[in-house]
Amino acid sequence: MVVGMLEKATSLFKHHRKTTRMLFCPTCSNMLISAMDEETTNNKWTCSICPYQFPMTKQFNTRHKLRRKEVDDVLGGEETWKNVDQTDAECPKCSNLRAFFMQIQIRSADEPMTTFYRCTNAKCANQWVCWRCSAVVSLLRYFSAIAAGVPLGAVYALHFNRRRLEALAIGSYEKHSPLLLALLHHLDHPLFWISLDATTAYAVSKLSRPCAAVYMHNPLTLLTTVARSSVSLQNALVLCAVSLAHRGRALPALTFLSLAGALFMYPAALLPPLIMVLLRRECVLGTARLLSIFLATTTAAVSLSRYIAADWTFLSLYTSLVRVDDLTPNTGVFWYLLVEMFEQFKGFFTLVLQLHTVVVTLTNYCTPNTQHSHRPLLAYTFLAGTLAIFKSYPCIGDVGVFVTLLPLFSDLFQHARHPVFVVALTATAAGLLPLFRYLWLRVVTGNANFYYASTLLWTFSNGLVLTELLYAEARRVFVDRTAHEKIDVSKYDIRQV
C-alpha cells in the first residue's frame, strides 16, 4: 500500500513538471505552450488557454529538411497557417519577401526552437524549415541569388526572374518593358545567358583584352549571369555599344544603346559620351545625324513594345522609375530615405536624388571644353559608374560596366591616392551586403538598419572609385603640362575649386 502511494505521488510529481515554451497553438494561436517532462510517456504539448493537445512527434528528431507532406502532417495542415503572423523572410522558390512563420520545439526543452516558414504567395505556397546548421549553405545560395538584384522579386525594370514571366500572360507591364518580357519569355534558357556572356566578352576583347579578362573573371558579373538577371542583358548592350563606337560603327552602336534605353531607361544617359567616342573616331556622320539615328531606333523599340502590349499602359514603367513607387530594399540609397521621409517631403527628395544623374550628364559631357572631352571613354566610364550609384533600383551587377572599362586607363593607376584602401573597402562592402541581408530577412536577428548600413558602405566605395579615377586623371593632366618645366609634382596636390 505504501509502495502504491509512493508510485502515485511520483507519477503526480512528474505530471506537474512542465516546461513552458513560446510556441504557437494550432487552434487559438496562443504563444504559451506547456510541455511535460521527457520522462513522462506519450509526451504532449498543452495549450495554456484552450484544452488543445498535440503530440511531440519524433519527426523532428532529424536535422534533415522535412518533406512538405511531413510538415503539413505535423503542423496541422492548411488550417494551422491561418493563425500565424507574417515576417520578412525570403521564399527560396519564388523570391517573395513575405512569409508566414511558426516556431515549434524539437523533441525536448534542450533543443532550440525551429522556425517553419510558408510563402504568402498563393501560387507558390512553398514551405521550408530554417535550420541553424544550414546557415552556411543558405548564405552561399543567397549570395548567388543576390546577383539578380538585392530586392529579389521587387526591384522592377532592372531585374528579371522566372516569377516575372507570369506578367506576360497576365497582361501587366507595370514592372517591365513588354519587349523585355517577350524576349526573355522565349529565350529564358541557360544557353542563352551563356552565349550572351560569351558574346559580350568577345565584343569587349575588341576594345581591350585586359578589359575582357576583367569582365570574364569579375565575380559580380559571373553571379549576375548565373542568376539569369536582366542586368546581364543591360550590361551586354552597353558594352557592345561602346565597343562598336570605338571602332567607328555608328549605326549598330546607337542601335544597341537605344535598345538598352528603351528597355531600362537609364542607359540612354550614356548617349553624349558615346557620340564623343564616335566623333573622335572620325565618324562621317555629324552630331545631328547621330541624334536622329538614336531617336529613330528608340522610337522603333517603343513602338514594338506598344504592339506587344496593345496599349500604352507600359509607359507607367518609366514614370514609376522616376517616382520610385516601390520601396523594397535594394543596394541603392533611395528606399530607406523615402521610407523614413515624411509624405509631404517625399516628392522633393525624390527630385533631388534623381537630379544627380541629370546634373552629372549635362555639366560634364554636354558642355564643350570639359575635362573629359579629350578622353570620351573616361567620360563613358564615369557616367556608367554614376548611373550604377544613383539609379532608382540598382543592383550589384550594375557596377560590371565601369569596372570592366577601368583597365583602359592603366596609365592613371600610378596617380591614384589610395588604391589598396579602395579595393579593400569595395571587397568588404560586397561581402557585407548578403551577410546583413541574411541576418535581417532569413535569421531575423537584425533590422533594416543593418542592411542599409551595408548599402551605404557599398555606395560610398563605388563613389570612392570614381573619385579616385577623376583625381588620377586631373593629376596626369597636370604632370603632362608641367613636364617640360621641371617642376617637382610631389609638392602639389589636386584640389577642387
Tens digits of per-residue pLDDT, 82-101? 445 555 566 655 656 555 55
User: What would the pLDDT profile of 449-480 be if each residue is shown by its tens digit?
Assistant: 888 999 999 999 999 999 999 899 888 888 87
Q: Are 261 and 267 in contact (CB under 8 A)?
A: yes
Helices (H), 310-447: 316-323, 334-340, 343-365, 376-390, 400-405, 419-437
What sign does the dihedral 78-80-85-87 (CA atoms) show? negative
pLDDT over threshold 70, residue 337 = yes
Which three cell numbers mark 10? 511520483
* Choice among 118-122, 131-135, 429-433 with the minimum mean pLDDT: 131-135
User: What would the pLDDT profile of 362-397 be if each residue is shown by its tens digit?
Assistant: 776 555 444 455 688 998 999 999 999 988 888 888
Phi, psi of 363 (to 5 degrees): -75, -30
Nearest to 383 by CA among 405, 399, 360: 360
The HSE-up count of residue 399 (CA atoms within 13 Å, CB side) is 26
Report the largest interatomic distance among the alpha carbons of the chain, rounded to a whole angstrom: 115
pLDDT for the residue 206:
92
Q: Are 220 and 434 in contact (CB under 8 A)?
A: no
Identity of residue 410: S
pLDDT for the residue 343:
82
- Please tell me what DSSP assigns to residue 152: T
Alpha-carbon 490 to chain mean position: 42
Taking CB atoms within 8 Å and a gap of at least 24, the contacts of 315-319 are 316/174, 317/156, 317/157, 317/173, 317/174, 317/175, 317/176, 317/177, 317/265, 318/265
Residue 137: partners with Cβ closer than 8 Å, 6 or more residues away: none
On the 0-12 / 13-18 / 19+ scale of CB atoms within 10 A, 473 is: buried
- Write down the pTM of the prediction: 0.65
Architecture of domain 18-130: Single Sheet (2.20)
Hunting for cell 519524433 — which residue is that? 58
User: What would the pLDDT profile of 147-188 be if each residue is shown by its tens digit?
Assistant: 333 333 322 222 333 333 333 333 345 667 888 888 887 787
Enumerate the domain spans of the chain. 18-130, 162-487
pLDDT over threshold 70, residue 4 = no
pLDDT above 70 covers a percentage of the chain that reads 59
Measure Cα distances from 133 to 70, 86, 162 in Å: 20, 23, 29
Average pLDDT value for the chain: 72
CA distance 53 to 41: 14
